[in-house]
Amino acid sequence: MPLRIPAHPREDLRPHMLVAEGLLNPRGVSLQDDGSLLLAEAGSGQPGEPFSGRISLLRADPATPGAWLPRETLADGYRSMNMQARMLRDEIMGLSDIAFGDGRWLASHTDYVAGSKLLDLQYSPPEPVCHSQGNLNALCYHPTRRSWLAVKPDTNQLVEFRPGQEEQVLVELPDLELGQEAVPVTLVYEPATDAVLISLFSGELHGEPGRKGVDFADKAGQVIRVWPDSGQIECVIDGLQLPTGLALDSEGQVLVLELCESLQQPLTADWNGEPRHGGFTRFSGRLLHCDLRSGETTVLARDLDTPSNLCLVPGGVLVSEGMGLSARPLPTPEGGVQPLTGRLRRVQLWHNT
């Protein structure tokens, strides 16, 4: 039986701190052996900045353990696409993830115009080594298959890449209980099973035209386990509210982000720039720890702003926050207004670190 998220899970809120601000839709983050970070930024989403996506490096701060110096640009000029007109929600697509495997770092880039690709970061500028159509939302290396796996939320597929070869579709993910599309967001390799864990956002219901952009079933998101060899699928965690980022802690238990607690105020065609949530209730995301052995769920952080990706670092985890059109005004829980900006937040996982 899958672990079901309770209505009011126990809270064990951990210390946290912002380690980077002023980012342009930060997505996947990866930790290098020297303690520095590689970061994919999807871009600003501004109409006059169609190529604002960039790959950044954040060097470890030698004076402050657990902190990083201001970001440096490794590569830029990548297409950034604002999906507001199509989705009525504040979503920016472009560079999405960075992962390590087989001695190299690859970044995934969604580009509906020129075609999506995997970029090899050992070259300057990074060179495309795999090509695809559609949305490459997340990336991981599968050491047993010696291949790169990605999920495609526009076609609900688990796909496989090997440099120099054609993309292979491994698994077609079925629709969920209410007929909505699965919409896979993130995947991580699970060493204990040789499978991958995939978060399912759960697509729109399309039942009420007047609710376009926010017509989602409540707490219909899941984390599933998928075996690439056989295509077998099992539900691991159920009852999530729009799950995004995934990670496995040092004991193999699941860390999962929920994007927000509810949906409201889509960015419709008549939006003229006033403060709106933009589909997702801002500053309401959570970081959950799900113990698959005991069945216990614990909230480690809350009040996060549209968190999307996780990256384990010594003693903690980094959370990418701040999704949407950069600098647009956001309503805050206190009734104020602040500009949208991308951030990296470090959440402490162990109390003695």
Please report which residue ranges of the chain form alpha helices under DSSP H. Answer: 84-87
Q: What is the pTM of this model?
A: 0.97
The average confidence (pLDDT) of the chain is: 96
| Positive or negative torsion for Cα 55, 60, 66, 72 | negative
- The torsion of the CA quartet 274, 276, 279, 282, rounded to 10 degrees, works out to 150
Identify the sign of the CA torsion 16, 17, 22, 23. Answer: negative
Lateral strand order in the sheet of 104-109: 95-101, 104-109, 116-120, 127-132
Q: Please, is 192 exposed, middle or buried when counting C-beta atoms within 10 Å of its C-beta (0-12, 13-18, 19+)?
A: exposed
Residue with tokens 């991981």: 140
pLDDT of residue 223 exceeding 80: yes
Please write the tens of the pLDDT for every residue from 111-130: 999 999 999 999 999 999 99
CATH number of 3-348: 2.120.10.30
Beta carbons within 8 Å of 96's beta carbon, 6+ residues apart: 27, 28, 40, 42, 108, 109, 110, 136, 137, 138, 139
Q: List the chain domain ranges.
A: 3-348
CA nearest neighbour of 326 among 18, 14, 54:
54
Identity of residue 49 = E
What does the pLDDT read at residue 352?
A: 45
Mean pLDDT of 81-101: 96
What confidence tier does 208 reach under pLDDT thresholds 50, 70, 90?
confident
